[in-house]
Structure 1
Amino acid sequence: MLGRRSEKVVRREDPAHLLVCGNEKGGSGKSTLGLHIATALLNKGLRVGVIDLDIRQQTMARFFAYRAQTASIKSLDLAHPRVETLAPVRRDRVSDVTHEERCALFRLLLDMRNDCDVVIVDTPGASTNLSDIAHSQADTLITPMNDSFVDFDVLGRIDPVDGTLKNTSQYAHTVRQARRERRRLKGTVLDWVVVRNRQSAFSSRNERKVDDGLRRVSMQLGFRLVDGIAERVVYRELFPLGLTVMDAEALYALDVCQRSSPSHKAACREIDRLVRMLRLPIDDEGRQRAQARQRLSQRMAAGLRMPEFLA
């Protein structure tokens, strides 16, 4: 069942925007961010597709299964995305597994990008064949991380004295390769967004050091840094219902929270701000930014033109 569409939303003529939630460290909040972004976009009237590549856990797929059950049992009018998963491939040779997985994912991506406005891919917390393919195809890559140097290590190793980047991590190398491949094959630029999750209300010395390190590294690795979601109980307790803070009317109908709840309102503002900061091509501003990235990529591909005598 696809999401409801409002009159203000115009059907995209080009393939759906592909948003990938990626981080090779587990527990960073990929699924939590993905399902909240998906719900926010659904409630804007967009047709959303979800691909859960975490074959073992399938957190996002299970969340939307709960959502369908809640809507059916409680007779609620909830918007639903198209949810797809890939079955495990078992073959004698690793090369056969890799080939079949690659073909299955490309077929699914082609189908969903022609059927939806935005496709969100949730990847496992490890490097896999399917995850690498998703990264190479992404229009926007979201990498959530907690305010901790343990999570910071996913991006690179920093000098403990001056805070400069000593060398990049394997995951940063994967993203760099995905960017190069995308620019070579499609002539477009991957928008990499690092999202800081579980920020506390009060800034500690460690958080300030992490913030300073991230801002330095962002210039070297080429990602945008945005604030994500804080540590709130409401983000976790709604999971068994398949609901998020963005489903206000359903929450009020079930008496899960009150209309005047400050925590609920603050959580909604966080998700709204995050979706705006992603700058997806779902409105005029987002489309203009996507076109600007396209022009930049074309200029980069054309190279620097030089006078003949200098060349």
Structure 2
Amino acid sequence: MAHIIVVGNEKGGAGKSTVSMHVATALARMGHRANALDLDLRQRSFGRYAENRQLFMEQAGIDLPSAQYHALPELARDQPAETHDKARLSAALETLAPTSDFIVIDCPGAHTRLSQAAHSLADTLITPLNDSFIDFDLLANIDGDGQKIRGPSVYSEMVWSARQARAQAGQRAIDWVVLRNRVGSQQMVNKEKMRRAIDALAKRIGFRVVPGFNERVIFRELFPRGLTLLDLKDTGVKGLSISNIAARQELRDLIKSLNLPGVTVNF
């Protein structure tokens, strides 16, 4: 069966599409059959990223290892909106599963029926989180000095409900991974407070914390061409900068930390 990787939270600007593209491309480069879906039907950041990649390859006359991106199928609207959305997602997964080792699903930065359905199907859930207490509020409510956790947020409760539903259905548990993104290089008081708060919450509600990407200009430069850090040498970039080399190492560490079945990092 295909292993379903869902990249989701309910806040925009956390780097979900960047993470989705890099994870999907890394899997494809390592020889795995990777397919991808974008459930943000309005902004379609992941979808546009994939389209930019296809256009770049056509214009440059090169073929880069890539996950296969797919749009949700259109179905007849003969049922309520809630079941209609779930039916579209189910139809997509049913079609992709036989030809997939992994299916990467990028969710919108909002609570939608599609996003909720995807979370309940996740084998691995990746939640990118910017290194600030504004984004931490996505996971839990915290007191004024950032020391005491008052309780889980609506998003954490949604993930908990998805976990319960899978358990009742006899399915394997969701491996929930919170990815600390855009972490500053300097040791600051806020950074240390965030670390302590996330570690405490991880023990309380059951997720793993893994390192993500530091804030780097390269990610903004890659999107228009649909490229990832792994494509630079193949597109003629010679002598990678120290920053780019460090970013590749961050990606390598991320893929290793996900502990995906049958994946041995070889880039």
Same fold (TM over 0.5): yes
The answer as to whether partners of 1:38 and 1:120 remain within 8 angstroms in 2 is: yes
Matches within 5 A, 1:90-101: 96-101=80-85
1:9 maps to what in 2? none
Q: Tell me by how many angstroms 1:250 deviates.
A: 2.2
RMSD: 1.9
Matches within 5 A, 1:234-245: 234-245=218-229
2:181 maps to what in 1? 197
The answer as to whether partners of 1:55 and 1:88 remain within 8 angstroms in 2 is: no
Q: Which one has more relative contact order, counting CA pairs under 8 Å at least 6 apart?
A: 2
Superposed CA deviations along residues 182-235 of structure 1, whole A, max 9, x for unmatched, are 111133111000000001111210111011100001000100001100001111
Structure 2 gap ranges (5+)? none
2:119 maps to what in 1? 135
* Deviates further, 157-166 or 176-185: 157-166
The answer as to whether partners of 2:73 and 2:88 remain within 8 angstroms in 1 is: no
Matches within 5 A, 1:263-302: 263-283=243-263
Compared CA separation, residues 51 and 162, structure 1 to 2 (3 A): closer
2:150 maps to what in 1? 166
The answer as to whether partners of 1:34 and 1:122 remain within 8 angstroms in 2 is: yes
Q: 2:199 aligns with which of 215, 223, 227?
A: 215
Matches within 5 A, 1:121-160: 121-160=105-144
Letter aligned with residue 25 of structure 2: T
Distance 1:144 1:90 in 2: 34
Compared CA separation, residues 284 and 233, structure 1 to 2 (3 A): closer
Q: Tell me by how many angstroms 1:241 deviates.
A: 0.8
Q: Tell me by how many angstroms 1:87 deviates.
A: 6.4
Distance 1:230 1:244 in 2: 15
Distance 1:21 1:182 in 2: 18
Compared CA separation, residues 244 and 283, structure 1 to 2 (3 A): closer
The answer as to whether partners of 2:131 and 2:182 remain within 8 angstroms in 1 is: yes
Letter aligned with residue 51 of structure 1: L
* Deviates further, 218-227 or 182-191: 182-191
Letter aligned with residue 75 of structure 1: G
2:242 maps to what in 1? 262
3-state DSSP class of the match of 1:280? Answer: coil
Distance 2:68 2:171 in 1: 29
Structure 1 gap ranges (5+)? 1-14, 286-311
Matches within 5 A, 1:13-162: 15-86=1-72, 96-160=80-144
Superposed CA deviations along residues 232-266 of structure 1, whole A, max 9, x for unmatched, are 11111011111111113323x2xxx4324212211
Distance 2:76 2:190 in 1: 45
Compared CA separation, residues 111 and 89, structure 1 to 2 (3 A): closer
Aligned length: 265
Q: Tell me by how many angstroms 1:42 deviates.
A: 1.2
Compared CA separation, residues 88 and 75, structure 1 to 2 (3 A): same
Letter aligned with residue 143 of structure 1: T
Q: Tell me by how many angstroms 1:103 deviates.
A: 1.1
The answer as to whether partners of 1:89 and 1:97 remain within 8 angstroms in 2 is: no
Superposed CA deviations along residues 75-117 of structure 1, whole A, max 9, x for unmatched, are 11212222122368896x9x61112111111111122122111
3-state DSSP class of the match of 1:174? Answer: helix
Compared CA separation, residues 157 and 63, structure 1 to 2 (3 A): same
3-state DSSP class of the match of 2:246? Answer: helix
Compared CA separation, residues 237 and 181, structure 1 to 2 (3 A): same
3-state DSSP class of the match of 1:186? Answer: coil
Q: Do structure 1's residue 226 and structure 2's residue 210 form an aligned pair?
A: yes
Distance 2:218 2:251 in 1: 13
3-state DSSP class of the match of 2:80? Answer: helix
Identity %: 38
Compared CA separation, residues 57 and 90, structure 1 to 2 (3 A): farther
